[in-house]
Amino acid sequence: MEVYLASPWIPREWVEVHGLVPRGLFSAPAFGTLTLRMAEGICSFAQQSLELARMHGAQGNAVVFVSSCDQMRRGFDLVGVPQGTRAFLFNLPATWQSGAAWRLFRAEFDRFTRFLERLGGCRQSDESVAAIIDSARDTRTRLRSSWNKLSARGFAECIARFHWDGRAIVERASDADGDTGVPVAVVGGPLTQAQLGILDAIELAGGRVAVNATETGERSLGLETPVPGRVAGNIDCLAQFFFWRIIDVWQRPNTRLYAWLRERIEERNVRGIVLWHHVACDLWRAEAASLREAFNLPILTLDSEQARSDHLRLVHRIAAFMEILR
């Protein structure tokens, strides 16, 4: 059975450990290609996720939503009832520094485990668990180190493939040069494969995406935390490993997000920030002032609705922003 995960923060390795097939719903090849009637104020990403969840659920597969996004949580309400036991809502704690937050995540991890078992999953031997965890960690490490070996689109596609099927085929692009173009960071919510033209537009305008900090970009690989000893037979250690790699805007305080960004912005000499958000995402839209204050860099804000309805104007705005940064 395939288990479709609506967020990169749902531990795909744990699904694989139980003999099931994890799929990043946000990395589905069909994501963004469905023609839907868009209601005003409704996030296109959430609508596409909901429709794909229904499609895959009708085929007998399972879907896992997260509580960190209001619209995705509402999506679970709509999908979960008809799908019954094949839909799951993973409650991610909004805070991360307290013992209560850890206990909530730990309880959800146990509940998620029972959900996988109800689907027919069965945890493999400790040796197999260790091999799966180590393989995924090595793949994430290899992907993190390839950010300057590929074009912006190529890097994003490699990450999407990892979330889709767990594989990462990294080959240096013949046209990728990590030292040319104005270095910028693209920060924000999920950037689907159908929206990767944004990255192309930045490069065509003379920019270079030095940091892809979207929810589906480099940031989705998580913090590179060490595996705490022999974790295969230690559920607490495994849960901590998954808990501590989350980096997102909805966490309070979101200092981990800013620390992660600062390290890469300074190391890669970023000169401007492109803030990407979906039309109904108040969390990311509200970060514009904080990002400007934290990094003292020019910011260009782009929303997914403009990318869909007036792509040419969006391309012109990107080109003008690159001119400012030269």
Kindly report the length of the chain. 326
pLDDT tens across 248-286, in order? Answer: 999 999 999 999 999 999 999 999 999 999 877 889 999
User: How many helices, marked H, and strands, marked E, lie in the chain?
Assistant: 13, 8
Q: What global pTM score does this model have?
A: 0.92
pLDDT of 173 > 60? The answer is no
Q: What is the pLDDT of residue 83?
A: 56
pLDDT tens across 86-100, in order? Answer: 899 999 999 999 999
Q: What is the mean pLDDT of residues 210-236?
A: 84
Percent of the chain with pLDDT over 90: 67
Of 69 and 96, the structure prediction assigns the larger pLDDT to: 96
CB atoms within 10 A of CB 111: 13
Q: Domain 2-127: state its class.
A: alpha beta
Helical (H) or strand (E) element with 87: strand 87-90
Q: Compute the mean pLDDT over every residue in the chain, rounded to the nearest whole number.
A: 89
Q: What is the pLDDT of residue 320?
A: 96
Q: What is the mean pLDDT of residues 286-300?
A: 97
pLDDT tens across 96-144, in order? Answer: 999 999 999 999 999 999 999 999 999 999 889 989 999 999 999 999 9
pLDDT of 231 > 70? The answer is no
pLDDT of 232 > 70? The answer is no
Distances (CA, A) of 87 to 105, 156, 240: 18, 28, 24
CATH 3.40.50.11890 in the chain, residues? 2-127
Q: Which residues contact 121 (CB under 8 A, 6 or more apart)?
A: 15, 18, 19, 20
Assess if CATH 3.40.50.11900 describes domain 151-222+250-325. yes
pLDDT of 228 > 60? The answer is no
pLDDT of 177 > 60? The answer is no
Phi, psi of 188 (to 5 degrees): 145, -155
pLDDT tens across 1-50, in order? Answer: 999 999 999 999 999 999 999 999 999 988 877 666 555 556 778 888 88
| Residue 170 pLDDT grade (very low, low, confident, very high; cuts 50, 70, 90) | confident
pLDDT of 84 > 70? The answer is no
Q: What is the pLDDT of residue 172?
A: 59
pLDDT of 186 > 70? The answer is yes
Q: What is the pLDDT of residue 99?
A: 94
Of 131 and 78, the structure prediction assigns the larger pLDDT to: 131
CATH 3.40.50.11900 in the chain, residues? 151-222+250-325
Q: Which residues of 50-86 are buried (b: 16+ CB within 10 A; e: fewer)?
A: bbbbbebbeeebbbbbbbbbebbeebbeebbeebeeb
Q: What is the pLDDT of residue 26?
A: 93
